[in-house]
Chains A and B, each alone.
Chain A
């Protein structure tokens, strides 16, 4: 029996409205937490649950919460990171669109646990219609007395706001998010100090992903130990995976952590196998930033063990033969897809989204994009492949924020696993163009030069 804790009610008609959500058992977690639990008890439950950040890094949430500095007389803030901009990831969108009250309920419980009286949901600007959904839901919650002054007569006050970004991937980095929320240019801050000590307006701040905050609701309802029963090892609970690419059933799935990649990819319950009966070529299991896996490493690790959908198993083998669970953006490529083109596409994205603050990322992403563009359009040289490797190595780890790493990893892994394809692009440019774009004309070659 596979359990769904977050989106099992997503199909109920009208679940986005307060009445239906309440009738389906919503806001029980708020009642339970505020009436019968101390804030620290909630933190304790989250620790027991083993919940890990669902935004990509997978840092234990309970531990993150316990790092929050609590000086006297200084407000604390909880920020929800709804700036979901990673290519391939659209799980938070689904959750907020379908069940906005689940996020609000999670925000109330989490804010209570952290002692925050003002909380913000920072949503990406492209999700404007979801902003309206959330604002409507928040208005309903205020009206029903779940937000505002003296909630449930317990004396706890909470104001919740939604704030849209202006369309920048970098604002999903927590310190850039804070800068943007303060009304400044969305440049990541230099750490330390960490947000847990000095965040929004210089006050202690916790930033959590939408899914992480939503997961606090079932943890409070059923207890952390119950939640920890799901999953394998240190990967507990359920995870939303947004599957896309050449599969029969793309969409958002809630899985119990610990099912096998094979099952996720091929069973009819989830992705339903590769489209049009083609062969699997590669898979990016956690959003565009994580290393790409070639077909023989997707369902099995290098050691020959079955690969599971867990933080540990996907990372098995390190960056040599493994990848990461990341944000759960599961992208599948069939045999017809071009890895060079895909890598160029990703790199173009990171070039476009680099904030331009630190030199390796600002200049390196653009350089990589230009070299990859040249390779893809049949003007590459063999030295370009070594050059790419060198550029990504000089970016990785040398930047202020993880965007530099995120730009370097896809290139590194593509070169590591698909070097022949890059070489083929250099040696047989016409053939490569033929495969990717059909008939090759002079025009296409010229366009590449432009």
Chain B
């Protein structure tokens, strides 16, 4: 076990835990934002650099501070480590820079983007970004690509977090989804536009933090904040069958996996549940689902099922 202090909160965690996961035990403002790390995907993390933190004391044995800011999602804690997240101006400054970098090649057109309301980049920019951009050049643009009948890829919005690549690698068999080219020309691609033909391919939509991979059966049907999320389950022979139905009245507009308070899916669902079961009668509805207050989705007039002061934990 290792004792680590993050922004003045001390927690004890098993050896090998990353700083980010330790911070998530503390919760609240102490948790660094993460755009690429995904706890259920092996190898993810370290890329977006939004989770940078300052290590002001290395460990009990070696108290020297680390010279550079470190990615909290991939740096394991040491006993006696002291970490500064929100309390370090250096971190906040660097994070502001990262948000700006992520946004220079990302279109600033949230009003017409299908992901708006549940977009992690939108949340991140809302909390850490600046209100105006200093970027005055042409942004990179791509044509929209349909990957099979259910998924649409719009690389223009991609922030190259690689989550979908890991999902495709680890959840589906046969590697057809990856990254081509390099630098700011890099793009997510299914090699030779081959459709991902797999029962779990729909999960790339859920792991995508931005509007680059969207559900073709839901695109532009509704803004997410006009739909009501309901926890529901069904007996499924392929997956856990636990999902969230996004409903308007009694109509199911779309089905997604359940995301925890950090926006991560712990139990992935299959394409049958996601795309084919769109009737309320297909499901056993458990009740309304809570949504994280920090998200832009709740900044509007979203109806809250429970009082505001309840912890941010989901029921899942």
Contact = CB atoms under 8 A, between A and B. Distances in A.
B49 A358 contact: yes
Contacts, number: 93
B182 A397 contact: no
B47 A397 contact: no
Contact of B71 (A190, A352, A353): A190
Nearest to B71: A190
Contacts of A168: 182
Interface string B23-58: 000000000000000000000011111101000000
Contacts of B76: 192
Interface residues of B, number: 36
A132 interface: no
A357 interface: yes
B184 A185 contact: no
Given A353-B183, A367-B104, A387-B134, A362 B97 contact: no
B100 A366 contact: no
Nearest to A357: B47
Nearest to B76: A192
Interface string B84-104: 000000000110011011101
B74 interface: yes
Interface in A322-381: 351-360, 362-367, 370
B69 interface: yes
A387 B136 CA distance: 12
Interface string A390-402: 1001110111100
Q: Dominant SS at the B interface?
A: loop
B210 to A, nearest CB: 12
Nearest to B75: A192
* Residue from B69, B71, B162 whose CB has the most chain A CB atoms within 10 Å: B71
Nearest to A190: B46
A399 B97 CA distance: 12
A44 B221 CA distance: 70
B135 interface: yes
B152 to A, nearest CB: 22
A398 B50 CA distance: 10
A400 B69 CA distance: 11
A370 B135 CA distance: 10
Contact of B160 (A351, A353, A362): A362
Interface in B219-240: none
Interface in B142-197: 159-160, 162, 178-179, 181-186
A360 B49 contact: yes
Contacts of A393: 97
A168 B98 CA distance: 25
Contacts of A170: 182
Contacts of A360: 49, 97-98, 101
B178 to A, nearest CB: 8
- Residue picked from A192, A365, A398, most chain B C-beta under 10 Å: A398
A190 B73 CA distance: 10
Contacts of B181: 356
B184 A354 contact: yes
Contacts of A352: 183
Nearest to B106: A363
A197 to B, nearest CB: 13
B183 A362 contact: yes
A9 to B, nearest CB: 40
B49 A359 contact: yes
Contacts of A192: 76
B301 interface: no
B68 A354 contact: no
A352 B183 CA distance: 7
B137 A399 contact: no
A370 B69 contact: no
Contacts of B160: 356-357, 359, 362
Interface string B61-82: 0000001110100101000000
B97 A356 contact: no
A195 to B, nearest CB: 16
Contact of A398 (B69, B137, B159, B162): B69
Contacts of A400: 46-47, 71
Given A190-B71, A353-B183, A387-B134, A398 B97 contact: yes
B275 to A, nearest CB: 31
Contact of B183 (A354, A370, A395): A354
Contacts of B93: 394
Contacts of A398: 49, 52, 68-69, 94, 97-98
A394 B94 contact: yes
A358 B183 contact: no
A94 B171 CA distance: 48
B105 interface: yes
A88 B69 CA distance: 30
Nearest to A363: B101
A363 to B, nearest CB: 4
B68 A397 contact: yes
Nearest to B178: A185
B183 A355 contact: yes
B97 A351 contact: no
**Most chain B beta-carbon contacts within 10 A, residue among A358, A363, A365, A394:** A363
A355 B182 contact: yes
Contacts of B102: 359, 363
A161 B52 CA distance: 39
A449 to B, nearest CB: 11
A185 B104 contact: no
A258 to B, nearest CB: 29
A319 B136 CA distance: 30
Given A398-B69, A398-B97, A363 B184 contact: yes
B101 A394 contact: yes
Which of A192, A357, A400 neighbours the largest number of chain B CB atoms within 10 Å of its CB? A357
A357 B69 CA distance: 18
Contacts of B52: 398
Contact of A366 (B48, B97, B134, B183): B183
A355 B47 CA distance: 11
27 contacts: A170-B182, A190-B71, A352-B183, A353-B182, A354-B182, A354-B184, A355-B182, A356-B160, A356-B184, A357-B162, A359-B47, A359-B49, A359-B98, A359-B102, A359-B159, A359-B160, A360-B98, A364-B101, A366-B105, A366-B183, A367-B104, A370-B137, A394-B101, A397-B68, A398-B69, A399-B49, A400-B71
Given A190-B71, A354-B183, A400-B47, 13 more contacts: A190-B74, A354-B182, A355-B183, A356-B181, A357-B47, A357-B160, A359-B47, A360-B97, A393-B97, A397-B68, A397-B69, A398-B68, A400-B71
Listed from nearest, the 3 A-B pairs whose CB atoms lie closest are A394-B97, A356-B186, A190-B46
